[in-house]
C-alpha cells in the first residue's frame, strides 16, 4: 500500500528519504509502543555559475546533516500515566537551510502540548532589484507553543506563545544629500523580534460553543545601518556628491493586544450559526536617527535627521454566518462580514545641516478602511450524481484619508473619501456521470463601480473547471482556471488575462512500479496605460505590457528491483517562453521589461537499498539548471545530493 501512496507524491527535494523500512510495528516498552527512525548523512552541492542566485533559489550546501528523524510513542491501552501519545518529527537539522521540528505530547482529555519550530536560512542577492544592492543573508527562526487543558471536553483552556526572530547582515541604499545627489549602498545589521502570548478557552453550553482568546503581540526592530568607510556611489555619471561615513539607527517597538470571540452552533440538524468578533490595537513607537558626513558640489555637508513619533492601527472585524439545511439536498449559506481598519500616525522630522537646524516638519497621517460584505450561496444536490450551486455577493468599501503636514507653521492638508461597491455572482456544478469520473466547474463574474487602483479588479470574471477519472490503479485529471479583468476608464486602460491549463495522471499497475506525470501551461498577459517623464517631457499614452507563458512539466517513475532496491527517477521543468510584445511601446526600457524568458530544469534520481529490516542505505542526486535567455547574468548549474543511512527501530 505504501508504494501506491508514494507513487502519487510530488517530486521531493532529495531528502529526507520517504521509503519505509521494514514493518512499522515498533517496540513495546511497558504500556507504550515506541517507533523511531533516524536518517543521517552527508549532503553535497557543487555550483557552476551564479552561486548567489543558486543560494537564493535552492541553498543546499555541503555538510553532515540529520536529514530526518521521527519518534512516536503511543500508550497501548489509552491510559498512560503521564501521557498517551508523543509525536516528534524533525527535518534538516545540522545546518540545512530549511529546518523543521514538530512535537505533540498528549494525555487523553487531560492536556495537549504542541510545538512547531522552524529555521530558514534566507540568502538573496536580488540582482535584478535596486542595482543588486539590496542583498540579504538573513536567518529566520520561528516557534509556536500551544498548551491545551482538558482537550475534547466541554470546557477547555489554552495558552500559547509564538516567536519570530529575524537577524543577519543585509545591504540597503540611500539617496544623499538631495535629489540631485547620488545613491550609496550601506550595511545593515538586521534585528527583528516578534513575540506573541495568548490564552483563552472554549466552552460548550446549550448546544453552543464559545471560544475566546486574549493575546498580546510584541514587536521590536533594532536594525542598525552603517558605513564606516567612504561610500561607493552607484551612479558614475553623478560626481557632485561624496559620502565619508554614514550611520542610521531606527528602533521601532510596539505591541498589538487583541481579543477574539467566536460563537458557533451546529446542534440543530437543519441550521448552523457562526459569529465571530475580533479586535486588535496596534501601536508602534519609533525614533529615527541618521547621520551622513560627506560633501556636495565641493562643500562639506553633514546632515543629521531625527524623527520621532508613533503609529497606531486599531482593527475591528465581525462575521456572522448562517447555514440552513432544510433538506439533506439543499444548503443555503449567508455570510456577513464587517471590517474596519484605522491607521494613523504622527511623526516629527528635524534635520540639521552642518550643525544648524534647518527644518522641523510635523506629519499626521490617517487612512481608514471600512468594508461590509454580504454573500449568499445556494447549493442543491439535484441527483446523487449532479449538484448545482449559485451565489451572490455584495461588498461596500469606504476609504478615508487625511494627510497633514506642518512645515514651520506652513500647514498643508489633504483629505479624501471615496467608496467602491462590488456586485458579484457565482455559479457552478458538480457532475458524476459514470463511476470514477468527476467533473466540477465554477465561475464568478463581478463589477466594481470605483476601484481604488489602476490594476484593481473592476469588470472581471473567473472560470474554472476540473475533470478527474479515477480507477483503482489509474488516475487522470485535467483542469483549467481563467481570470480576466478590465479596469479601463476614460483615457486609461488596464486589462489582465490569466489562463491556466493542466493535465496530469498516475498509474500504479503493481506494488513494484508506479509512474506519474503532468503538464501545466500558465499564461498571463497584462496591458496597463502608464505615464512618465523623458528628459522633463511628460509621456502620457504609453503602455506597460507583460507577457508570460510558462510551460511546466513533471514526471516520476518508481520501481522496486529485487525487492530490496527502491529506485525513483523524476524531473521537473519550468520554461517561460514569453512571446512577442512588440507594438505596445517604443520605449527601450519598457520593451526590455515586457518578457523574461528563462528555463529552470531539475532532474533527480534516488536510490534506497534495504540492508535489513531496520536499515536502509540511501543516495540521492538532483541537478538544477537555471538559464535566462536575455541577460544570462544569473545563470547557474548545480549538482546536489546526499548519501545517508536510515535506521528504524
Residues 448-507 contacting other proteins, CB under 8 A: 448, 450-457, 460, 462, 466, 468, 477, 479, 481, 489-492, 494, 500, 502-504
Q: Which is nearer to other proteins, 301 or 397 (CB)?
A: 397
* 31 DSSP β-pair partners: none
Q: Shortest approach of other proteins to residue 562 CB, angstroms?
A: 26
Under the binding rule (CB under 8 A), the answer on residue 522 touching other proteins is yes
HEC per residue, 345-399 = EEEEEEEEECCEEEEEEEEEEEEEEEEEEEEEEEEEEEECCEEEEEEEEEEEEEE
- Fill in the DSSP letter of residue 178: S
Helix (H, G, I), strand (E, B) or coil at 594: coil
Please list every residue from 314 through 373 that binds other proteins, using CB under 8 A: 315, 317, 319, 321, 323, 325, 328, 331, 333, 335, 337, 339, 341, 343, 345-347, 349, 363, 365, 367, 369, 371, 373
Q: How far apart are CA 418 and CA 353, in angstroms?
A: 40
Q: Which is nearer to other proteins, 11 or 406 (CB)?
A: 11
Of residues 300, 592, 611, 633, which one binds other proteins by CB under 8 A?
Answer: 592
Under the binding rule (CB under 8 A), the answer on residue 544 touching other proteins is yes
Q: Write the binding mask 193 to 212 for other proteins: x where contact by CB under 8 A, - elsewhere.
A: -x-x-----x------x-x-
Q: Which is nearer to other proteins, 524 or 607 (CB)?
A: 524
For the CA atoms of the chain, what is the radius of gyration?
30
Where are the strands (E) in 206-240, listed by range?
208-221, 224-227
Under the binding rule (CB under 8 A), the answer on residue 241 touching other proteins is no
Grid coordinates representing 26? Answer: 515498533
Under the binding rule (CB under 8 A), the answer on residue 644 touching other proteins is no
Of residues 66, 127, 243, 514, which one binds other proteins by CB under 8 A?
Answer: 127
Q: How far apart are CA 438 and CA 442, in angstroms?
A: 13
Residues whose CB falls within 8 Å of the CB of residue 276, separated by 6 or more in sequence, listed in order: 260, 261, 262, 263, 317, 318, 319, 320
Under the binding rule (CB under 8 A), the answer on residue 436 touching other proteins is no
Under the binding rule (CB under 8 A), the answer on residue 541 touching other proteins is no
> Which of the ranges 36-44, 294-302, 418-426, 605-613 carries the binding residues for other proteins, by CB under 8 A?
418-426
Of residues 30, 152, 326, 436, which one binds other proteins by CB under 8 A?
Answer: 152
DSSP 270-296: SEEEEEEEEEEEEEEEEEEEEEEEEEE
Under the binding rule (CB under 8 A), the answer on residue 19 touching other proteins is no
Of residues 17, 37, 243, 379, which one binds other proteins by CB under 8 A?
Answer: 379
Of residues 437, 530, 567, 607, which one binds other proteins by CB under 8 A?
Answer: 530
Q: Which is nearer to other proteins, 453 or 562 (CB)?
A: 453
Under the binding rule (CB under 8 A), the answer on residue 154 touching other proteins is yes
Helix (H, G, I), strand (E, B) or coil at 77: coil
End-to-end, the C-alpha distance of the chain in Å comes to 21
> Which of the ranges 36-44, 379-387, 603-611, 639-647 carries the binding residues for other proteins, by CB under 8 A?
379-387
Please choose, from the candidates 61, 57, 71, 143, the residue with its C-alpha nearest in 3D space to the C-alpha of residue 100.
143
Please choose, from the candidates 312, 414, 307, 416, the residue with its C-alpha nearest in 3D space to the C-alpha of residue 362.
307
Grid coordinates representing 333? Answer: 449559506
Of residues 222, 444, 459, 525, which one binds other proteins by CB under 8 A?
Answer: 444
Q: Which is nearer to other proteins, 242 or 548 (CB)?
A: 548
Of residues 145, 250, 253, 629, which one binds other proteins by CB under 8 A?
Answer: 250
Where are the strands (E) in 152-251, listed by range?
155-176, 182-205, 208-221, 224-227, 241-249
Please choose, from the candidates 236, 158, 252, the residue with its C-alpha nearest in 3D space to the C-alpha of residue 202.
158
Q: Which stretch of DSSP H or E encloses residue 450?
A: none
Residues whose CB falls within 8 Å of the CB of residue 102, separated by 6 or more in sequence, listed in order: 87, 88, 89, 90, 114, 115, 116, 117
Q: Which is nearer to other proteins, 150 or 647 (CB)?
A: 150
Task: Tell the burial category of 595 from Cβ atoms under 10 Å away from its Cβ (0-12, 13-18, 19+).
Answer: buried
Of residues 27, 46, 62, 173, which one binds other proteins by CB under 8 A?
Answer: 173
Q: Shortest approach of other proteins to residue 383 CB, angstroms?
A: 11
> Which of the ranges 352-360, 385-393, 562-570, 615-623 carries the binding residues for other proteins, by CB under 8 A?
385-393
> Which of the ranges 37-45, 85-93, 607-615, 638-646 carries the binding residues for other proteins, by CB under 8 A?
85-93
Q: Shortest approach of other proteins to residue 200 CB, angstroms?
A: 10
Contact 323, 331 (CB under 8 A): yes
Phi, psi dihedral angles at 597 (to 5 degrees): -70, 135
Under the binding rule (CB under 8 A), the answer on residue 134 touching other proteins is yes
Q: Write the binding mask 285 to 304 for other proteins: x where contact by CB under 8 A, - elsewhere.
A: -x-x-x--------------
Contact 445, 463 (CB under 8 A): no
Q: Shortest approach of other proteins to residue 315 CB, angstroms?
A: 4
Q: Shortest approach of other proteins to residue 174 CB, angstroms?
A: 7
Q: Which is nearer to other proteins, 78 or 169 (CB)?
A: 78
Under the binding rule (CB under 8 A), the answer on residue 40 touching other proteins is no
Q: How many CA atoms lie within 13 A of 61 on its CB side?
A: 14
Q: How far apart are CA 25 and CA 321, in angstroms?
A: 46
Under the binding rule (CB under 8 A), the answer on residue 568 touching other proteins is no
Amino acid at each position: 500500500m505504501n508504494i501506491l501512496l508514494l507513487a502519487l507524491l510530488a517530486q521531493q527535494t532529495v531528502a529526507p528519504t520517504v521509503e519505509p523500512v521494514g514493518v512499522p510495528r515498533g517496540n513495546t516498552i511497558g504500556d507504550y509502543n515506541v517507533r523511531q527512525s533516524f536518517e543521517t548523512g552527508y549532503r553535497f552541492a557543487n555550483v557552476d555559475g551564479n552561486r548567489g542566485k543558486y543560494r537564493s533559489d535552492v541553498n543546499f550546501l555541503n555538510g553532515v546533516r540529520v536529514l530526518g528523524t521521527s519518534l512516536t510513542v503511543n500508550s497501548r491501552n489509552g491510559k498512560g500515566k503521564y501521557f498517551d501519545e508523543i509525536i516528534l518529527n524533525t527535518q534538516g537539522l545540522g545546518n540545512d537551510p530549511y529546518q523543521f521540528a514538530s512535537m505533540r505530547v498528549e494525555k487523553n482529555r487531560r492536556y495537549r502540548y504542541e510545538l512547531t519550530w522552524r529555521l530558514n536560512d534566507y540568502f538573496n542577492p536580488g540582482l535584478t532589484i535596486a542595482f543588486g544592492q539590496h542583498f540579504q543573508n538573513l536567518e529566520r527562526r520561528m516557534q509556536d507553543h500551544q498548551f491545551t487543558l482538558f482537550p475534547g471536553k466541554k470546557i477547555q483552556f489554552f495558552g500559547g506563545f509564538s516567536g519570530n526572530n529575524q537577524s543577519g547582515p543585509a545591504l540597503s541604499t540611500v539617496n544623499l544629500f538631495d535629489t540631485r545627489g547620488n545613491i550609496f549602498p550601506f550595511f545593515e545589521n538586521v534585528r527583528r523580534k516578534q513575540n506573541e502570548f495568548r490564552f483563552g478557552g472554549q466552552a460548550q453550553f446549550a448546544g453552543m460553543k464559545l471560544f475566546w482568546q486574549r493575546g498580546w503581540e510584541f514587536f521590536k526592530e533594532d536594525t542598525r545601518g552603517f558605513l564606516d568607510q567612504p561610500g561607493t556611489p552607484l551612479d558614475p555619471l553623478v560626481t557632485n556628491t561624496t559620502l565619508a561615513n554614514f550611520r542610521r539607527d531606527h528602533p521601532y517597538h510596539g505591541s498589538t493586544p487583541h481579543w477574539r470571540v467566536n460563537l458557533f452552533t451546529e446542534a440543530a440538524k437543519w441550521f448552523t450559526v457562526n459569529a465571530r468578533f475580533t479586535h486588535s490595537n496596534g501601536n508602534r513607537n519609533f525614533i529615527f536617527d541618521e547621520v551622513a558626513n560627506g560633501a556636495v558640489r565641493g562643500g562639506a555637508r553633514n546632515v543629521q535627521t531625527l524623527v520621532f513619533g508613533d503609529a497606531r492601527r486599531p482593527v475591528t472585524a465581525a462575521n456572522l454566518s448562517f447555514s440552513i439545511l432544510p433538506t439533506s439536498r439543499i444548503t443555503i449559506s449567508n455570510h456577513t462580514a464587517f471590517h474596519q481598519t484605522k491607521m494613523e500616525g504622527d511623526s516629527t522630522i528635524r534635520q540639521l545641516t552642518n550643525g544648524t537646524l534647518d527644518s522641523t516638519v510635523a506629519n499626521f497621517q490617517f487612512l481608514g478602511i471600512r468594508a461590509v460584505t454580504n454573500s449568499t450561496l445556494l447549493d442543491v444536490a439535484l441527483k446523487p450524481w449532479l449538484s448545482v450551486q449559485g451565489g451572490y455577493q455584495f461588498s461596500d468599501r469606504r476609504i478615508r484619508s487625511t494627510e497633514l503636514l506642518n512645515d514651520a507653521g506652513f500647514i498643508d492638508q489633504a483629505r479624501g473619501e471615496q467608496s467602491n461597491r462590488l456586485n458579484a455572482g457565482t455559479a457552478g456544478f458538480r457532475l458524476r456521470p459514470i463511476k470514477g469520473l468527476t467533473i466540477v466547474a465554477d465561475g464568478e463574474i463581478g463589477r466594481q463601480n470605483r476601484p481604488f487602483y489602476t490594476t484593481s479588479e473592476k469588470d472581471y470574471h473567473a472560470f474554472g473547471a476540473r475533470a478527474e477519472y479515477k480507477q483503482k490503479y489509474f488516475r487522470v485529471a485535467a483542469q483549467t482556471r481563467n481570470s480576466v479583468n478590465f479596469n479601463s476608464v476614460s483615457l486609461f486602460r488596464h486589462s489582465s488575462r490569466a489562463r491556466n491549463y493542466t493535465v496530469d495522471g498516475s498509474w500504479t499497475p503493481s506494488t513494484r512500479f508506479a509512474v506519474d506525470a503532468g503538464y501545466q501551461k500558465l499564461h498571463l498577459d497584462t496591458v496597463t496605460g502608464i505615464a512618465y517623464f523623458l528628459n522633463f517631457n511628460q509621456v502620457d499614452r504609453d503602455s506597460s505590457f507583460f507577457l508570460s507563458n510558462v510551460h511546466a512539466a513533471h514526471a516520476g517513475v518508481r520501481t522496486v528491483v529485487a525487492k530490496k532496491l527502491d529506485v525513483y527517477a523524476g524531473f521537473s521543468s519550468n520554461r517561460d517562453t514569453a512571446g512577442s510584445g512588440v507594438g505596445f511601446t517604443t520605449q527601450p526600457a519598457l520593451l526590455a521589461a515586457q518578457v523574461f524568458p528563462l528555463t529552470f530544469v531539475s532532474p533527480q534520481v534516488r536510490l534506497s537499498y534495504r540492508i535489513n529490516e531496520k536499515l536502509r542505505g540511501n543516495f540521492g542526486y538532483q541537478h538544477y539548471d537555471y538559464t535566462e535567455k536575455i541577460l544570462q547574468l544569473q545563470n547557474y548549474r548545480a549538482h546536489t545530493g546526499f548519501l545517508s543511512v536510515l535506521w528504524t527501530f
